[in-house]
Amino acid sequence: MRIYEELFILRPDAPEEEVDAYIEQLKALITSSKGSVDKVEKMGVRRLAYRVEKRNEGFYVLIQFSTDGTGLVKEIERRMRVTDQVMKWITVRIDEDLKRLEKRKAQREKRARRKPQPQAAPAAPAVLPAPAMPADPAAGPGHPPAHAPARPAPAAPREPAGEAHTAEVVGKETQHG
């Protein structure tokens, strides 16, 4: 069975009785076509993102329903098109998204079952740092203390492997003089 959401915007000045009558008409159409209405949500009058039919507001309604065929969806959209109260509508098939989410959830659970639970590592004994030695009072400013490690000498630049230290002179000779 396929699950759809029908979101439509009615004129904000439509009386509440007409809105309810239109929703009941759609619910009757769905149930007569062997479908089932899962949810009806009247969101009320809201501001539109942009002007539609010279209006800044609209009455939002969301209907979630299930059906086997696409004929019902075509009939609902046809009725939306010919009804003057309806300013905008959109029909979205959501069962494919629900299937995808269920599949992803099953994959995560499978991966979690496959991966062993991390065991708590035994507590390592705490290593306390060695106490700092006092500075050598004999060393003056700018001299490192006696216990400070000496700096390593800078490394000599390396020659790339395979090249000789002697280079051939290629090119034009110059005269000095």
Direct distance between the N- and C-terminal alpha carbons of the chain, in angstroms, rounded to an integer: 100
Distance CA 22, CA 163 (A): 89
- pLDDT, mean of residues 27-48: 91
- pLDDT, mean of residues 58-77: 90
Tens-digit pLDDT profile for residues 115-124: 766 666 666 6
Break the chain down into helix, strand, coil percent, rounded to 5.
30, 25, 45
Secondary structure E strands in the chain: 2-10, 36-52, 55-67, 86-93
Say which CATH number the domain at 26 has.
3.30.70.60
| Angle subtended at Cα 93 by Cα 88 and Cα 97, rounded to the nearest 5 degrees | 130
Confirm if 6 and 89 have CB atoms less than 8 A apart. Answer: yes
- Does 68 fall in a domain? yes
Q: What percent of the chain has pLDDT over 90?
A: 38
Tens-digit pLDDT profile for residues 81-109: 998 899 999 999 888 877 888 888 888 88
Please give the pLDDT value at position 40.
93
Please give the pLDDT value at position 57.
94
- pLDDT, mean of residues 127-140: 60
Please give the pLDDT value at position 152.
66
- Does 138 fall in a domain? no
- Does 66 fall in a domain? yes
pTM for the structure as a whole:
0.56
Closest C-alpha among 122, 144, 125, 123 to residue 133: 144
Distance CA 80, CA 38 (A): 19
- Does 141 fall in a domain? no
Report how far Cα 136 is from the mean position of its chain's Cα atoms: 59
Distance CA 60, CA 136 (A): 82
- Does 86 fall in a domain? yes
Residue 62 structural domain:
2-99
- Does 21 fall in a domain? yes
How does residue 129 score in pLDDT terms, banded at 50, 70 and 90? low
Please give the pLDDT value at position 175.
60
Res 12 pLDDT > 70: yes
- pLDDT, mean of residues 60-78: 90
Q: 108 — phi, psi (to 5°)? A: -65, -45
- Does 31 fall in a domain? yes
165: tokens are: 């230290």
- Does 171 fall in a domain? no
Q: CB-hemisphere CA count at 13 Å for 71?
A: 7
- pLDDT, mean of residues 30-43: 91
Lowest mean pLDDT among 35-39, 46-50, 72-76, 131-135: 131-135
Domain count, the chain: 1
- Cβ neighbours of 57 (radius 10 Å): 14
Mean pLDDT of the chain: 79
